Amino acid sequence: MRLEPQIDQARLIACAGAEYGVVLRRLTYIPHGEASYSYVAEARDGARYILKVLDATRLARGTAQRMTFVLPLLHELRSKRLLANVPQPLFTAAGAPLALCGEYRLVLLGYVEGENPDRATLHRPDVWARLARDMARLHASTGALASPCPEVETFELPLETALLDGMAALARVTTEDRPGHQALASLLLPQADTIMALLVRLKELADLSRDLASSNVLCHTDIHRWNLLIDADGVLTIIDWEGAKLAPAEHDLFAFNGDDFPAFLDAYLCAGGVRDLHAETFGFYLYRRNLEDLTDYIVRILYENDDAQSVMDVRAVASEECLASWPLIEPSIELVREQLADSALCGPGAQRL
């Protein structure tokens, strides 16, 4: 969760009008998201949009670059009905996917009705199976897309340098430093050996996953309940596609691991999903996501946050987003291994959806 930034909303409204030709009257901040600040934008004609604002921070700069292929990709998914329940991208009057607004870059999307599902709703059998089928459709769409997707999985670990540099910076923190720096140092420095062991295990799984050489498919890469909306009619929409890339299907599927994964896997496979799945690759993504999140929090707390945001982010580091989930990763890999072995692979008698 991100606190609302001190951005001149009148300026954003003026820029959106000049670039997109929409006359906005009000912006309402949405406190979710990591790389961008998001607002519900209400137009004078009653239409609603989502306005994403990207600043000059590290994550935002990377997201701005990816938007140049993500928005055409969303347009193609919708227009070809490969996956219709994705946000509608809007382009500027000049046909560009992003608009400039001083030091910011803007992205405008059609508003999607619905609420983020709670865990009980998400795991409801009909919703769970619907999401699994959508994942299968997304992965199956890969060969039908004309839009280039330059982001391709390499199993490299660019997080390593930032993580090691961040831990070194924390080791130099003193009582003269900002409270967030001190709190993070107190939390992470006693865990330094564990963090190094996690990094070693991640590298091992990267090598194993690379050797397995699974076929790449189009993946969203960041499926969780905050990136899902469900409306009153049960329509499920997948939002926030900034991380879209070509990768093994496990890059999406790892997010659904757990006791309910067999039901998800059955629906996914029966809808034509990828069958060549490996527990080692699930493990790679479980470890990498955890250490990516940890690294992002370290960088933000050390170099980007104000004190109020750092208080929230240190709590997140201690939570199941990072530290609290470490003892659960290896058991999760073994459970996935068992579940993949037990899967019927949508065999004879199973209904294809």
The domains of the chain are located at 9-110, 119-342
**Is residue 349 predicted with pLDDT exceeding 60?**
no
Residue 110, classed as helix, strand or coil, is: strand
Per-residue confidence (pLDDT) for residue 249, from 0 to 100? 97
Phi, psi (degrees; rounded to nearest 5) at 102: 65, -125
**Is residue 322 predicted with pLDDT exceeding 50?**
yes
Question: Same CATH fold, 119-342 and 9-110?
Answer: no
Q: Which range is least confidently modeled, 93-97, 231-235, 320-324?
A: 231-235
Domain 9-110: CATH superfamily, name plus number: Phosphorylase Kinase; domain 1 (3.30.200.20)
How much of the chain exceeds pLDDT 90, in percent? 84
Q: What is the CATH number of domain 119-342?
A: 3.90.1200.10
The mean pLDDT value for 2-6 works out to 77
Per-residue confidence (pLDDT) for residue 3, from 0 to 100? 75
Q: Give the separation between CA 248 and CA 253, rounded to whole angstroms.
A: 9
pLDDT digits (tens, 9 = 90+) for 45-79: 999 999 999 998 888 888 889 899 999 999 999 99
**Is residue 345 predicted with pLDDT exceeding 90?**
no
